[in-house]
Amino acid sequence: MASPATRKPIMTLYSGTSCLYSHSCRIVLSEKDVECRVCFIDPKENPEELADLNPYQETPTLLDRDLALYSAKIINEYLDERLPHPPLMPVDPVSRARARLMMMRLQRDWFDQLSIIEEGERRQANKARQYVRDGLISISPIFDEQNYMLGQEFSLLDCVIAPLLWRLPMYKIELPRQAKSLTDYADRLFQRKSFTESLSEIEQEMRA
């Protein structure tokens, strides 16, 4: 058997250096403590091997032996099923369905606004910022009674929202004092070993 020093990673993740979706995959990989080679990709210089694996030539893309996956949602759920310890999704079907519904709402309600903030006209960007800010304020009270999105246990949902919370200063979204429970929750996420290990150099500089 190969020693830990010589054993090759069983997976390769092609990741953007500042891609929010890639970031969530890196958090999941760190939570699972799996050997994985992370290849940071310059979006302007996609390698030929990525084009062979993903017809959209996008990050994140995961290669696990002969299996190539793309889309952070698919990759994250695959990792949780492929590497069941620690589990990041609820066991029972009803709770899993609710978790998936919440992730879908995160995408449609908030993540879809980020491209408008980045690329839209000033008025559109400000409106999108306010929309995300109001949404975050609205969920803040749930952290008065629980540590994480689904309760007291860290889950895949936390892996998905953590990259957004980390980027709030970059998006010029400031939370008011009334959202203290949410900012405390964000601090809990940022202090996790899996989160600190997941950060690229560019992401570290977002909150230098």
The model's pLDDT over 152-170, given as tens digits with 9 standing for 90+, comes to 999 999 999 999 999 999 9
* 3 found inside a domain: no
* 82 found inside a domain: no
The model's pLDDT over 66-92, given as tens digits with 9 standing for 90+, comes to 999 999 999 999 999 999 999 999 999
pTM: 0.93
Per-10-residue mean pLDDT of the chain, 208 residues long, equals 49 96 98 94 82 93 96 97 95 95 95 96 97 97 97 97 98 96 98 97 93
Indicate the number of domains in the chain: 1
**Could you tell me the CATH number of the domain that includes residue 161?**
1.20.1050.10
Containing structural domain, residue 137: 93-192
Residue 133 to residues 80, 99, 165: CA-CA distances in angstroms? Answer: 30, 22, 11
